């Protein structure tokens, strides 16, 4: 069972610990239907993003000698990789040494469902270089998994995109794979420069006329049984990818952990009352194992990948505190309907990096000064390195509340209201007569016509 009862909550939100500043500009892309505020967040007393001091660990600058990572092909690896340049045999998404031919292709970013519970166990999450977990709407989470290093035979189930994917796919130079999208989200995607006009091939979706393969239903008309594979996506887009095959990253990697960490062998993340996650550190493998609630009871079980039939593990787990806004785009029509969310993954915000059984406080940074790449920094602006390997990003709200330092790390998210003021479109007139439909009479039974002169 979960550990909520033993954790004491701080009564102060992260928003009070960080200064807020309304930015004059923002990400150069189409705004939400009703433009939400763009928030710039940075630590009080430190330079704002873009004016930080020179990082102490510059790109590729060795500070010590490290042993080669597993599968290394370089005899003399650098101690630090990134954030701007990498050796031609180092994956910029994982910091691991690989065959350079693997890097001569585009990453594939796949939208994978986490709800309803029936979609679990998912396929391919364990083999992703990066996974971003975020709220979709109504307190449920969804994943964007980025694949470059591994060829994965089955990925899914594939579901619809969200606004955050106009940030993630361009950030890593990736093809986006999705079942489709709501009208508002599809317009948002197609208006983004990464997918605009002749670049629409980068959006592999049923709504952009991709069929099987690469998007194949295991059960016809079941929205939760759509799957793909990395090879199928690359085959379907091969005519376009040659000039664009260049993975992008702004991360720094180092086998040696930086200074300034505190012991952290468990991280509990409550996205909502319906979505609870735990990451538990295994020192034998130097990795974190993912656990999540198996059903509405809240009991946590190890999250298994259907391809490997093994629990999902990651070298790094990163919690990003990001501003969420209702984007006023209807996404879910159950129980009165819910709008989606704009996850404002630009400017800067707090971050917590978990690696090697330690937690490192810092911030994420993404703006023009980083060329819109996502960077992880300490609070002085120096790069915070990840351990070489895969990374899972948990994206919570800016006002999420962390646990006290005397207990296992836990963060409780505050879910944005996506039901109020959500403009649910009217139901379309059916083109076929539904089963059991009864046509109304011209004059309803009991109808009394009004008189020409209203009664006093």
Evaluate whether 48 touches 42 at the Cβ level (below 8 Å): yes
**What gap in Å lies between CA 28 and CA 25, rounded to an integer?**
8
What separation in angstroms does the CA of 88 have from each of 77, 238, 245? 12, 22, 13
DSSP line for 277-306: EEEEEETTTTEEEEEEESSTT--EEE-B-T
Q: What is the pLDDT along the chain (456 residues), one digit of tens a residue?
A: 444 433 333 333 343 334 333 333 333 333 333 333 333 333 333 333 333 332 333 323 222 222 333 333 343 445 899 999 999 999 999 999 999 999 999 999 999 999 999 999 999 999 999 999 999 988 899 999 999 999 999 999 999 999 999 999 999 999 999 998 889 999 999 999 999 999 999 999 999 999 999 999 999 888 899 999 999 999 999 999 877 778 899 999 999 999 999 999 999 999 999 899 999 999 999 999 999 998 888 899 999 999 999 999 999 999 999 999 999 999 977 666 789 999 999 999 999 999 999 999 999 999 999 999 999 999 999 999 999 999 999 999 999 999 866 778 999 999 998 888 887 655 444 444 333 333 444 433 343 444 444 444
**What gap in Å lies between CA 6 and CA 72, rounded to an integer?**
43
Region of 67 (left: φ > 0; alpha: ψ -120 to 50; beta: rest) is beta
Residue 384's CB: how many other CB atoms inside 10 A?
A: 26
DSSP line for 150-166: S--S-EE-B----TTHH
CA distance from start to end of the chain:
68
* Helices marked H in 38-116: none
CA nearest neighbour of 30 among 170, 204, 172:
170
**Helix pair angle (165-172, 183-191), 10° resolution:** 30
Query: At 184, phi and psi to the nearest 5?
Result: -65, -40
Evaluate whether 238 touches 252 at the Cβ level (below 8 Å): no
Cβ burial, residue 102 (10 Å; 0-12/13-18/19+): middle
48 strand-pairing partners: none
CA nearest neighbour of 44 among 21, 15, 20, 19:
19
Using only C-alpha atoms, what is the Rg of the chain? 24
Give Cα 58 distance to the centre of its chain.
Answer: 27
**What gap in Å lies between CA 112 and CA 81, rounded to an integer?**
29
**What gap in Å lies between CA 290 and CA 145, rounded to an integer?**
15
Residue 31: asked if its preceding bond is cis (omega within 30°), the reply is: no
> What are the structural domains of the chain?
4-412 (3.50.90.10)
| Predicted local confidence at residue 332, as pLDDT | 79
Evaluate whether 49 touches 365 at the Cβ level (below 8 Å): yes
Query: At 453, phi and psi to the nearest 5?
Result: -110, 115
**What gap in Å lies between CA 341 and CA 292, rounded to an integer?**
22
| Predicted local confidence at residue 42, as pLDDT | 32
**What gap in Å lies between CA 264 and CA 270, rounded to an integer?**
17
Token pair 């810092």: residue: 362
* 3-state class (DSSP) for residue 202: helix
Evaluate whether 155 touches 230 at the Cβ level (below 8 Å): yes
Evaluate whether 194 touches 169 at the Cβ level (below 8 Å): yes
**What gap in Å lies between CA 106 and CA 93, rounded to an integer?**
12
As given in the structure block, the two tokens for residue 439 are 């046509």
| Predicted local confidence at residue 336, as pLDDT | 67
| Predicted local confidence at residue 405, as pLDDT | 66
Evaluate whether 347 touches 368 at the Cβ level (below 8 Å): no
| Predicted local confidence at residue 85, as pLDDT | 92
| Predicted local confidence at residue 205, as pLDDT | 95
| Predicted local confidence at residue 78, as pLDDT | 56
**What gap in Å lies between CA 292 and CA 223, rounded to an integer?**
23
């Amino acid at each position: 069972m979960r550990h909520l009862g033993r954790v004491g909550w701080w009564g102060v939100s992260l928003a009070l610990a960080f200064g807020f500043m309304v930015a004059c500009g923002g990400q150069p892309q189409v705004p939400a239907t009703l433009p939400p505020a763009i928030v710039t967040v940075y630590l009080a007393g430190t330079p704002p993003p873009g004016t930080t001091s020179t990082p102490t660990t510059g790109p590729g600058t060795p500070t010590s000698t490290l042993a080669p990572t597993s599968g290394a092909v370089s005899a003399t690896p650098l101690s630090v990789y990134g954030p701007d340049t990498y050796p031609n045999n180092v994956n910029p998404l994982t910091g691991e040494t690989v065959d350079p031919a693997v890097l001569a292709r585009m990453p594939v970013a796949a939208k994978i469902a986490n709800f309803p519970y029936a979609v679990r166990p998912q396929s391919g999450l364990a083999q992703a270089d990066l996974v971003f977990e975020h709220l979709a709407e109504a307190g449920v989470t969804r994943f964007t998994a980025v694949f470059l290093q591994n060829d994965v035979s089955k990925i899914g189930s594939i579901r619809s995109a969200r606004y955050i994917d106009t940030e993630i796919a361009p950030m890593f130079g990736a093809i986006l794979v999705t079942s489709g999208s709501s009208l508002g989200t599809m317009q948002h995607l197609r208006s983004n420069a990464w997918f605009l006009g002749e670049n629409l091939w980068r959006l592999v979706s049923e709504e952009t006329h991709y069929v099987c393969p690469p998007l194949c239903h295991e059960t016809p008309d079941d929205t939760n049984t759509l799957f793909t594979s990395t090879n199928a996506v690359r085959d379907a887009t091969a005519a376009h990818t040659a000039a664009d095959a260049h993975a992008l990253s702004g991360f720094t990697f180092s086998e040696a952990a930086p200074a300034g960490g505190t012991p952290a062998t468990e991280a509990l993340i409550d996205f909502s009352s319906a979505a609870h996650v735990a990451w538990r550190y295994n020192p034998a493998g130097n990795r974190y194992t993912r656990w999540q609630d198996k059903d509405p009871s809240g009991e946590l079980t190890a999250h298994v990948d259907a391809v490997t039939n093994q629990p999902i593990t990651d070298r790094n787990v990163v919690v990003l505190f990001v501003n969420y806004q209702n984007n006023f785009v209807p996404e879910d029509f159950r129980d009165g309907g819910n709008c989606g969310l704009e996850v404002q993954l630009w400017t800067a915000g707090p971050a917590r990096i978990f690696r090697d059984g330690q937690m490192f406080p810092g911030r994420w940074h993404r703006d023009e000064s980083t060329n819109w790449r996502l960077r992880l920094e300490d609070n002085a602006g120096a790069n915070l390195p990840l351990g070489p390997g895969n990374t899972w990003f948990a994206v919570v709200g800016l006002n999420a509340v962390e646990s006290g330092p005397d207990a296992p790390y836990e963060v409780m998210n505050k879910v944005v209201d996506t039901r109020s003021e959500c403009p649910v479109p009217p139901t379309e007139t059916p083109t076929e007569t539904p089963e059991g439909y009864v046509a109304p009479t011209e004059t309803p039974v009991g109808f009394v016509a009004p008189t020409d002169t209203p009664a006093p």
